[in-house]
Amino acid sequence: MPQVEQVRKRGLKPAVWAAGGIGLAGMIVGGVLLLGARPQAPKQDTAAVINKAADKLFSGDRQTAIGLLNDQLKQAKSDEDRVVLYMNLGSAYEGKPDNAMALVMYLKADEIRPGYGINEAVGRAAEATGDKGKALDYYRRNRKLIQDGKAPQHAEELAGVEEAIVRLGGKL
């Protein structure tokens, strides 16, 4: 027991040293309780939480999935994590179906990092809630991204985007 030998070299008796350590631990725990802090569950990786939420969604437990994603959102440290969590929450709400909440989640993702996939999700949810103006706006954003060459991987989707715009009464 090398720790006991180090304690003896410092002139302390091992029993006194151990009691002091226990006392310090008690003070820390007592201080935490006195301040009203609660021990928190260990933080989980966002990807792991998304996988757990996906398992819940596949088993039909949508509310638990939404709860897991919301809890992780409170701990998210990066914008990238927030965007992914908002998009997953939007998808979970869309499948409920609660398109109004899905739209709220997708718009929060859009505030952080606009992009083609988010535009498509906002457009779809806005259309489902009857907000044609917002749907047209976001579908037009995607059309512009494709036409400007900023979303070349989605170029084959141009006809579908334009079809959605026309279906909603928009002009090309």
89 neighbors 105 (Cβ within 8 angstroms): yes
pLDDT value for 67: 97
Of 72, 37, 76, 80, the closest CA to residue 52 belongs to 72
Rounded Cα distance between 32 and 146, Å, is 55
| Count of domains forming the chain | 3
- At residue 18, the 3 state secondary structure works out as helix
Rounded Cα distance between 131 and 103, Å, is 10
Per the structure, the complete domain to which residue 80 belongs is given by 43-105
pLDDT value for 43: 63
48 neighbors 71 (Cβ within 8 angstroms): no
* Residues 122, 73 share a domain: no
pLDDT value for 23: 41
pLDDT value for 24: 35
Helix 116-129 to helix 99-112 angle (10° resolution) is 150
Q: Mention every residue, 6+ apart, whose C-beta is less than 8 A from residue 82.
A: 73, 76, 108, 109, 112
Helix 116-129 to helix 132-147 angle (10° resolution) is 160
* Residues 169, 148 share a domain: yes
User: How crowded is residue 1: how many other Cβ atoms within 10 Å of its Cβ?
Assistant: 7
Write out residues in the chain with pLDDT < 50, as ranges: 1-10, 12-42
Rounded Cα distance between 86 and 46, Å, is 12
Domain boundary among the residues 105, 122, 154 is at 105
CA atoms within 13 A on the CB side of 51: 5
pLDDT value for 33: 35
pLDDT value for 107: 98
Domain boundary among the residues 55, 87, 105 is at 105
* Residues 100, 52 share a domain: yes
